[in-house]
Structure formats: C-alpha cells, structure tokens
Amino acid sequence: MRTIKRLDKYVSIDLIFSLFFNEKDAVILESSLKNKLGRYSIIGRQAYMKVVKKDNLMINDELCEEDFMSFMGNYLKLNSESNTTELPIVNGAIGYISYDFDRVQSLALPKCVFIFYDQFIIEDHEEKEIYLIANGKLKDSAVSIKELQGKIDTIQINPLTYNDKSDITIKYNFTREEYKKAVSSMIQYIIEGDIYIANMTQRLDIISERSPYEVYSRLRKNNPAPFSAYMNYKDFQIVCASPERFLKMKNQVITTRPIKGTRKRGATEEEDKLLLQELVNSGKDRSELLMIVDLERNDLNRVCIPGSVKVNELFTIESYATVHHLVSDISGVLQPGLTAVDLLEATFPGGSITGAPKIRAMEIIDELERGKRGIYTGCIGYISLNGDCDFNIVIRTAIHQNGSYSLGVGGGITFESDLDFEHEETLQKAKAIIEALS
C-alpha cells in the first residue's frame, strides 16, 4: 500500500539529494532552471526492479528472452494504475535509452537502464512543496516514509565548497580541420539530395579531478537547465544539464520541443542582444528548425489521433547561461490502446539530433562520425505506471567512468552551413560543462 506525505517544512530538493547522491542507483531528474517547462523535480531511490539492456535484456540480473520494448510495453499494461494526484509520478521507472539502442554493436555501457523505484521524492517548484512517496514494495510504506523523513530532518544547510580550480586535459576525437572536412562531406550529401539536414557531432574525452556530483552541483548552479539529471549507477555516472525536451505525455497529450539554432551569450548586454537578434533573423537556423518540425510532426502522426498534431510555437527563443536557442513546440494526442513505449518506438531517436530524412541521416552520421554516440543524444526520463512519461534529449551531458568524462557536442548541418561557424558552435555547447569540470 502506497503512502504519500507532504513535508510540513520546505527543504529544497537539491539539499535532499545531497543525502542520497552516493547511494547505488539513486537518480534525480531536476528542473534546476525553474521556468514554465520545469515545475517538478524527482528523486528516485530504493530500486525494486531493474531493467537493463546491454547485449541481452536483464531483469534484476536475470536473463529475459523478450526485447526491451515488448517487455516494458507488456509490463506497463499489466501493472497499469491511475495517478489521482497532481504529481508527475507516484509509481514507475526512471532511466535512459542510448542513441545506439537499436544497433548490433556492443557498447561499453548498457544501451538502456530503467529502474522501478520504491521511493520518490518530488519538489513542486511552483508551490514550494516537497512530497515523499513510498510504494511498499520493499517494506511497509508508512515505516519507509518515517525513516525517510528522519533522514531529511538531519539536513544541515551548509553549502558545498569546492576548490576554485581543477586542472583538466581535453582530447578531441576530431581536429578542427578534420571536423570541418566531415561537415563538408555532409554538405555534399545534401547537395546530392540524400538529405536536407543532419546533425554532426564530435566527442571530447576529459580528465578532471572533480567528482561527478561536484561537477553536477557546479553545473546546476552556473548553468541551470529545465531537464537536468544526475544518475549514480554501479560503475558510471551521468551528469546532464539538457535544455531540450524530447517527449512529454500526460493524459495521452504529447508535446515535443525540438531545438535548432544556437548563438553564444554576449560579453556585454549590447553584444548579447545583437547575437540574439542574429539568431532570430537567421534564415539558415529557421529553415533548419522548420525541417525538424516537419519530421517531428510526421513521427507523431504515426501514433497520434489523425488531425490532432499541431505546431503550437514555431520560432521561440530560449536563453541559457552560455547560449541562446531557437525552439519549436509540437503536440498531438496518442491513439487509444497505445502506450508510452509505442510513442518511443515511433519517434526515437529525436529528429533534432539526427536529421531528415531520419534513416538516411543516421546512415551518414554513422559514416562520418568517429565511434558510437552511446548515451549522448539518447533520452533520459521517466515512465509512470499511469501511462504518462517525460524525456529529455541527452545533450550538454558528461558521462563519467573510471575517472574520465566523455562529452558529445554537435550541431545541425544544412546546405547553408559555414564550416568554421559549425565547429565554433560545438565548442560553445561544450563551454558550460568544461567550466564545471575546470
């Protein structure tokens, strides 16, 4: 039996997570930028079921003959339950799907991890309220909540202190000229009519003395984002400050918010305004976003009620600590009888980080990029047992393993792309995380 308790005294969710970040499989989906996109933050702890796909699908470390999508789809249908609260999730799973999820090649890390948690801690940023949820899967839920509240009551509000500077070394998997050459090859495919647009990325491998949670804490403070995440898995950690929503579904209504078009923030207010205006007026960036909107509409139409797919915002500006972005908002209504898993199968990976047409763009990406993307440009989020879900696009994200961090950065390439500008844009996108690691 589930127990839900609202805390009498407000304590911010980042302080609460500072108690649990080191626990095995503890995760937070955090709206560290508290705007209209980020009303809730969610902590998951105390796993009762782990669904992990590497070469094979494992459920609680036991081999499962089903594939991931069919297992999750069946589990959601068999264990469906309503959520009578306003909270985004009371029972369900938090996890990720890597970009290379459907590929045959083995990756160093699991292709996907979804963990069903007994406990959730949720902050409603709008109302400044904290909710504790225990589902009674591992122990009596009332006892579980009492123990959890006891831990939270011990919190001392002492801000974490870190060294001012950390030495880092960065290794790029492309030189500047090699990256420009790959972009040039991509443009040639566009000229020849293979694709209209594709996303070209490079990877940075970074050695830093800072711990993953330290990097996350610095990032959330200096570069807050609506779709941040910290995930503490057995032998790797994910540090994410994504500004981009891939998919949200609530009561069968789906929204997706692709980003295409980036400018760095100016050093002065005047320069910042000029750069923002340059983005607003950029024909290249607007056409880039328009192509991705068209692709996302087509993807949604595969699983949505005919006539329900609409473009709500076409060219909206969103500003962050280091960059401005051009964003669109598209919505639709899922067909009856389908689930969040059907939605993922129809739309993954997101069009903004592949290109159009999607399949051919991904083939060209495989040819021109060096190595697999892994978790980068996949998605992180939750699936609730009532059918709702919310996922980001995994960008502005560092993966930590064995003392090293890997970071993917990229941008959309069109016929109008300038080679030097495209390379510079990737460096701007890496800036916030490099600063957090430094």
**pLDDT, mean of residues 111-124:** 97
Look up residue 131 and give its two tokens. 């909710």
Q: Rounded to the nearest 5°, which phi and psi values hold at 264?
A: -70, 160
Query: 9, exposed or middle or buried, with CB in 10 Å at 0-12, 13-18, 19+?
Result: exposed
Q: Which stretches within 206-282 are classed as H helix?
A: 212-222, 269-280
Q: Is pLDDT of 121 > 90?
A: yes
d(CA 399, CA 212): 9
Q: Rounded to the nearest 5°, which phi and psi values hold at 228?
A: -80, 160
Least confident of 148-162, 223-237, 344-358: 148-162
Give the helix/strand (H/E) hosting 261: strand 259-264
DSSP conformation letters of 318-334: EE-SSEEEEEEEEEEEB
Looking at the chain, the whole-number percentage of residues with pLDDT higher than 70 is 97
Query: Which amino acid, residue 39?
Result: R
Look up residue 383 and give its two tokens. 């699936």
The CA-atom distances, in angstroms, between 386 and each of 29, 116, 130, 173 are 19, 13, 21, 43
d(CA 260, CA 197): 11
* pTM of the predicted structure, to 2 decimals: 0.94
Mean pLDDT of the chain: 92
**pLDDT, mean of residues 381-401:** 97
Q: Give the tens place of pLDDT for each residue, 304-334.
A: 999 999 999 999 988 887 788 899 999 999 9
Q: Is pLDDT of 104 > 80?
A: no
For residues 37 and 128, which has the higher predicted lDDT (pLDDT)?
A: 128
Q: Is pLDDT of 171 > 70?
A: yes
**pLDDT, mean of residues 288-295:** 90
Determine the pLDDT at residue 294.
93
349 cis-preceded (ω within 30 degrees of 0): yes
User: Given pLDDT bands bounded at 50, 70 and 90, which one contains residue 363?
Assistant: very high
357 cis-preceded (ω within 30 degrees of 0): yes
Determine the pLDDT at residue 106.
58
User: Given pLDDT bands bounded at 50, 70 and 90, which one contains residue 105?
Assistant: low
**pLDDT, mean of residues 419-424:** 93
The CA-atom distances, in angstroms, between 158 and each of 15, 32, 42, 128, 182 are 9, 19, 22, 20, 48
d(CA 421, CA 197): 16
Catalytic residues: 244, 260
Residue pair 374/366 in contact by the 8 Å Cβ criterion: no
d(CA 73, CA 33): 32
User: Given pLDDT bands bounded at 50, 70 and 90, which one contains residue 160?
Assistant: low
d(CA 369, CA 360): 14
DSSP 336: T
Q: Give the tens place of pLDDT for each residue, 190-246.
A: 999 999 999 999 999 999 999 999 999 999 988 889 999 999 999 999 999 999 999
DSSP conformation letters of 50-117: EEEESSSEEETTEEESS-HHHHHHHHHHHT-----SSSS-SSEEEEEE-TTTT-SS--SS-SEEEEEE
Q: Which of 299, 409, 302 is nearest to 359 (CA)?
A: 299
For domain 168-230+241-437, which CATH number applies: 2.102.10.10, 1.10.357.10, 2.30.180.10, 3.60.120.10? 3.60.120.10
Determine the pLDDT at residue 310.
97
d(CA 408, CA 213): 19
Determine the pLDDT at residue 37.
74
3-state secondary structure of 366: helix
Q: Which stretches within 137-234 are classed as H helix?
A: 141-153, 176-191, 212-222
Query: Which amino acid, residue 71?
Result: F
Enumerate helices (H) and strands (E) in the chain, giving the number of each.
10, 22
The CATH 3.60.120.10 portion of the chain extends over 168-230+241-437
Exposure string of 295-309, with b = 16+ CB inside 10 Å and e = fewer, is: bbbbbbeebbeeebb
